Chain A
Amino acid sequence: MMSGGSKREREERALDALLVSTLRRVDKEDDIVGADKLPQLTEEEKAAMNALPPDFLDRIVAGERPIARRETPKHADHDESGDLALAGSGADTCLNRAEDVDDDTAAELERREREIIERKAHEQKQGGGDEPG
């Protein structure tokens, strides 16, 4: 187990442990969280809820699945153009990260950027990525 380190590091580890311990504690009441504690739906979510097809229930009863499961591609599949947002420096986090990106992280980001560029170049060379017979 991780041990030692400065007092601050030990306190940080202890806080991590306490937070995780709190979040991993599941009691039997969890299935029936009071409505007042549940998050409200956004307008978009409400719209989705109300946009279920009129024959939704009939089709469920008939054994169908009116809503097709949309396979969500993993984040990297959305954009591999070399934009490192996907490595954790997106619009939401870039300001934070810019404050304190250590040398290891900077080197890692640089390495990853090179990998992406190389992979892109390789894919282009292969002409669409068709597997050779």
Chain B
Amino acid sequence: MAATDPVNETDLDDAFEQGAEFGVQYLHSEYRERVFRHIKWVGRGFLTEHDLQDVYQETLIGVLARARRAGFEPCRSLRMVLAIARNKAIDLLRQRGHKINLDEDAILDVVAADTKGTDIYSQWRLHVFAVEQRELREILLEFIATLPERQRIVAQCFIDNFEDFRQRDTYRPLADAVGAITGITESVAAVKNDWRYARGKIIAELQRRGYTFIKVE
């Protein structure tokens, strides 16, 4: 287990050892808030209170089904629960029009082309070490979740659809992605504007957190 949390999962493993129903009962009794918070985190600020309940319910159903399967061996049960919770939260976001794209490989070429020879890339390489990437990512995710809803939607679509509009040299796919969530036809200009503001706030927050080299001049 990752050394990020002092939770001792063996109690949950032991509960599942006694049976699927008892394991879920124990999970519900002892880990409910942890699972809710995890769902909230995965939900990127897009899930309502009711959504949290809904995803939590789907998580318990998924966990129960898994634990009832023949040959189920309770091992790292909390990890299994949180993975299921994550998938259920992403399922719901996708049903709402979010793309949720976590494929980093797909953007390698675009990132290489966009950063080549730039000052910001030189500074980034100097200041952001591999170990800090994770911390930076957490700061970004946390901050984006606090943006006003409109900017949050645009920022998230920007992240999830990056390769589409960068490679095609047009922001139309970004506007379409935003429109898939808002349900209205979005203009390229309005969406670009919203991203610009969101990015400005992100830069300000990163500078406040000590990443002072992150700026566009």
Contact = CB atoms under 8 A, between A and B. Distances in A.
Specify which of A25, A32, A90 lies most central, judged by the most chain B CB atoms within 10 Å of its CB.
A32
A20 B159 contact: yes
A41 B114 contact: no
Contacts of A11: 118-120, 216-217
A14 B111 CA distance: 7
B54 interface: yes
B61 A65 contact: yes
A21 B103 CA distance: 9
Interface residues of A, number: 74
A60 B142 contact: no
A57 B24 contact: yes
A132 interface: no
A92 B38 contact: no
A48 B53 contact: yes
Secondary structure type dominating chain B contacts: helix
Interface of B: 1-2, 4-5, 7, 21, 24-25, 28, 32-34, 36-38, 40-41, 48-54, 56-57, 60-61, 64, 78-79, 82-83, 86, 96-97, 101-104, 107, 110-111, 113-115, 118-121, 124, 133-134, 136-138, 140-142, 145, 148-151, 154, 158-159, 162, 166-167, 169, 181-187, 189-191, 193-194, 196-197, 199, 202-203, 214, 216-217
Interface of A: 1-3, 8, 10-27, 29-41, 44-49, 51-52, 56-57, 60-61, 65-67, 69-70, 72-77, 86-88, 90, 92-93, 96-97, 100-102, 104-105, 108-109, 112
11 contacts: A14-B114, A18-B120, A22-B136, A24-B162, A27-B134, A49-B56, A52-B56, A73-B183, A87-B184, A101-B193, A112-B187
